[in-house]
């Protein structure tokens, strides 16, 4: 499998190189040159497989030139063994034909563990073979940082530096990052906001000379193709559990950077019958405004009770645009360049194609809390604020009551207790057993000024083979 850039101007790469890259040199994102396609008979034959066996069927075609089958099987077995539920992604029914797929049974209680647990293992495998060491540098407002740290804590060939805004992430989220032991884990609390952190990371990728030519930076945000790839699996998993592929399914996906829902789109392109994908946003609703009115326009960032979906622009949306433009990289480049200077529209026939599959809805904080409390009243099931947005959007956008509607449960409610408290229900979400002592564990982090030079010096001095 070869991977090409959505801007059409960068050379195609194999899986191994795509894994170790961030953006393509032309500014685009990598996507597979073509997708594997599975027949309904083949998909049916996977019923009854364990999660990791299913993951092998779905993901192996993307990596087969780079990784021998047995090694990949072993990696998947290790990856999904760390999840605290035997079914890995259990389905919970919340209404007559409505379900939540719990993707928060991993070590950091958010769906990002599905991809980052695998990514860490893939990186170490490939780096061992190349006899190479890399530095991961990433910025986080919460979930990505902890999932990346947990995913890489056992990597021998990776140092990981995660920047978070000092005193601006929740205590649970901070502790999930700073209490993980390991010489290769470095938490940097920056005296600034999340945008400052992200800006520093972005600029550092373009100035890698600060590492003295001895190592390179690797990205762990969802521009990394390997993350998207791992997320395709659970769409197949849910469908098979509820009678697919003979029945079609609908999914509602709490959306920020459009990575998770794009994985659903890919599952459908690979042959899984999916009738509807609901793009659920909070009041940072650029995607909802696009899908409902064909206007792609940046608004100022608003802080919400669902912080992992607080984005101005969704980076992975470019991957969908590439397909809507018939994989014409030049056209995508032109469109996104004109977006730099103001709102854009796409031709009506392209927009209608997108609308045939995607519906969307934006849910504000009040409605998020009302949904948490409604669902708790209806079935004593406690939603986190991100998942609640998915459940509410599913209800508003549903096309056919006969089609199972599955909302992706993206986080555990104990990760976001503030929203649950504001929902005025009388329960306090409890952390699962493996995190029971989170508040007693020792923390380790370094506070630095909002100064790129200082941060780069720190990294240059503290990675494994520094000096
Ligand atoms: C990251 C995240 C999202 C958004 O996922 P995208 O792939 O960026 O659309 C939603 N909910 C939670 C809890 C998250 O951590």
Domains of the chain: 87-108+226-422 (3.40.50.1100)
> Does residue 216 contact residue 135 with C-beta atoms inside 8 Å?
yes
pLDDT per residue as tens digits for the range 105-160:
999 999 999 999 999 999 999 999 999 999 999 999 878 999 999 999 999 999 99
Annotated active-site residue in 57, 86, 112, 464: 112
Q: How far is the CA of 434 from the centre of ligand 1 (A)?
A: 22
Is the minimum distance from the CB of 307 to ligand 1 under 6 angstroms?
no
Is the minimum distance from the CB of 412 to ligand 1 under 6 angstroms?
no
Average the pLDDT over each of 1-15, 174-188, 206-220 and give the range with the smallest value: 206-220
> Which CA distances in Å does 279 have to 188, 254, 261, 357?
33, 7, 7, 10
What are the percentages of helix, strand and coil residues in the chain, rounded to 5? 45, 15, 40
What residues pair up with 253 in beta bridges, in sequence order? 279
Nearest to 220 by CA among 309, 129, 134: 134
What residues pair up with 296 in beta bridges, in sequence order? 344
Q: How far is the CA of 260 from the centre of ligand 1 (A)?
A: 7
The mean predicted confidence, pLDDT, of the chain is 95
Is the minimum distance from the CB of 164 to ligand 1 under 6 angstroms?
no
Query: 194 pLDDT band (50/70/90 cuts)?
Result: confident
Q: How far is the CA of 306 from the centre of ligand 1 (A)?
A: 9
Is the minimum distance from the CB of 257 to ligand 1 under 6 angstroms?
yes
Is the minimum distance from the CB of 143 to ligand 1 under 6 angstroms?
yes
What's the whole-model pTM score?
0.96
Is the minimum distance from the CB of 365 to ligand 1 under 6 angstroms?
no
The answer, yes or no, to whether residue 87 has pLDDT greater than 90, is yes
pLDDT per residue as tens digits for the range 220-265:
888 899 999 999 999 999 999 999 999 999 999 999 999 999 999 9
The answer, yes or no, to whether residue 368 has pLDDT greater than 90, is yes
Query: 94 pLDDT band (50/70/90 cuts)?
Result: very high
Q: How far is the CA of 386 from the centre of ligand 1 (A)?
A: 8
What confidence score (pLDDT) does residue 168 get?
A: 85
Q: Which residue has the higher pLDDT, 436 or 275?
A: 275
Ligand 1, atom 4: nearest CA belongs to which residue? Answer: 256
Residues 6+ apart with CB under 8 A from 96: none
Q: How far is the CA of 115 from the centre of ligand 1 (A)?
A: 12
Residues 6+ apart with CB under 8 A from 410: 103, 104, 110, 111, 254, 260, 308, 384, 386, 387, 390
Nearest to 293 by CA among 363, 212, 352, 216: 352
Is 112 part of the annotated catalytic residue set? yes
């Amino acid at each position: 499998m070869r991977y090409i850039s959505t801007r059409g101007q960068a050379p195609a790469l194999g899986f191994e190189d795509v894994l170790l890259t961030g953006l393509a040199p032309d500014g685009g994102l990598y996507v597979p040159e073509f997708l594997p396609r599975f027949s309904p008979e083949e998909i049916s034959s996977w019923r009854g497989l364990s999660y990791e066996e299913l993951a092998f069927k779905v993901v192996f075609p993307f990596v087969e030139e780079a990784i021998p089958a047995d090694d990949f099987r072993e990696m998947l077995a290790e990856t999904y063994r760390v999840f605290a539920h035997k079914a890995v992604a259990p389905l919970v029914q919340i209404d007559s034909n409505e379900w939540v797929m719990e993707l928060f049974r991993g070590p950091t209680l958010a769906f990002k563990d599905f991809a980052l647990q695998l990514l860490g293992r893939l990186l170490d495998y490939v780096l061992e073979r190349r006899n190479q060491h890399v530095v991961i540098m990433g910025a986080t407002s919460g979930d990505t940082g902890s999932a990346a740290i947990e995913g890489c804590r056992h990597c021998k060939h990776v140092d990981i530096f995660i920047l978070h805004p000092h005193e601006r992430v929740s205590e649970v989220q901070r502790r999930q990052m700073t209490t993980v032991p390991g010489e290769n884990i470095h938490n940097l609390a920056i005296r600034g906001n999340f945008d400052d952190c992200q800006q520093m990371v972005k600029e550092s990728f373009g100035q890698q000379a600060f590492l003295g030519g001895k190592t390179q930076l690797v990205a762990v945000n969802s521009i990394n193709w390997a993350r998207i790839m791992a997320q395709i699996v659970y769409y197949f998993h849910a469908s098979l559990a509820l009678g697919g592929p003979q029945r079609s399914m609908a999914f509602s996906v709490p959306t920020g950077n459009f990575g998770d829902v794009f994985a659903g789109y890919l599952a459908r392109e690979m042959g899984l019958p999916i009738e509807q994908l609901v793009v659920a946003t909070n009041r940072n609703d650029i995607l909802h405004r696009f899908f409902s009115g064909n206007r792609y326009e940046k608004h100022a960032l608003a802080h919400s009770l669902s912080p992992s979906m607080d984005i101005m622009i969704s980076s992975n949306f470019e991957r969908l645009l590439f397909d809507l433009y018939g994989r014409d990289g030049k056209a995508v480049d032109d469109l996104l360049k004109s977006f730099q200077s103001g709102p854009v529209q796409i031709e009506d026939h392209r927009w209608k194609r997108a609308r045939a599959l995607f519906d969307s809805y934006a849910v504000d904080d009040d409605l998020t809390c009302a949904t948490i409390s409604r669902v708790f009243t209806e079935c004593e099931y406690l939603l986190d604020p991100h998942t609640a947005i998915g459940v509410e959007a599913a209800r508003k956008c549903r096309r056919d009551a006969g089609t199972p509607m599955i909302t992706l449960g993206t986080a555990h409610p104990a990760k976001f207790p503030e929203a649950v408290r504001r929902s005025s229900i009388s329960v306090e979400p409890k952390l699962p057993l493996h995190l029971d002592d989170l508040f007693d564990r020792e923390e380790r982090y370094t506070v630095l000024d909002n100064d790129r030079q200082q941060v780069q010096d720190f990294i240059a001095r503290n990675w494994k083979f520094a000096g």
